[in-house]
Amino acid sequence: MGPEHVMPPAPFSLALYLIVRVYDTTDLTAATLMESRRAMEDVLGSPHVRVVWRTCPAGRASTTRHDAAPGHTVTDQADCERPLDSQELVMRITTARPETAPDWLGYSYVDTARRTGTLATVFADRIRSAAERLGMETGTLMGRATGILTG
């Protein structure tokens, strides 16, 4: 068999993962969280970045990972208990405290050594209210806000 019969190497795609540990102390639906993940991927601006959600309830009674397939979950308590890896961040969903500036939808802490966000706190009540005023889905605005806070 000569060189003319050698198949070229198959193209490959390099996908980057961003793992988001979500601690939700509110009443958001799974559909809202899935839309938030999709919107966050859009903000990050690359089809090669895949956001993986690991839902870690505040009580840590159980852990659920929401993957690409809607409704697909895998329980794994250890995912919420170990230290953050370099490709992970924490998204805390809560309600705004009365003393929080009225125009804030959330805030983030940035790791200055890595020059990336490591913790994003978003205020579900304010995002829900702003989304209603803007005529958009709560999950879409939440994902955009989180992407901006951590990107």
Rounded-to-integer distance, Cα 19 and Cα 15, Å: 13
Write down the H helix ranges in the chain. Answer: 30-44, 78-81, 124-134, 138-150
pLDDT higher than threshold 50 for residue 60 = no
pLDDT higher than threshold 80 for residue 30 = yes
pLDDT higher than threshold 50 for residue 75 = no
Q: Rounded to two decimals, what is the model's pTM?
A: 0.74
Residue 9 is predicted with a pLDDT of: 53
- Bridge partners of residue 24, in order along the sequence: 93
Report pLDDT digits (tens) over 100-124: 998 899 998 877 787 766 888 999 9
Query: Of 102, 85, 91, 67, nearest to 149 (Cα)?
Result: 91
Domains and CATH numbers, the chain: 15-150 (3.40.390)
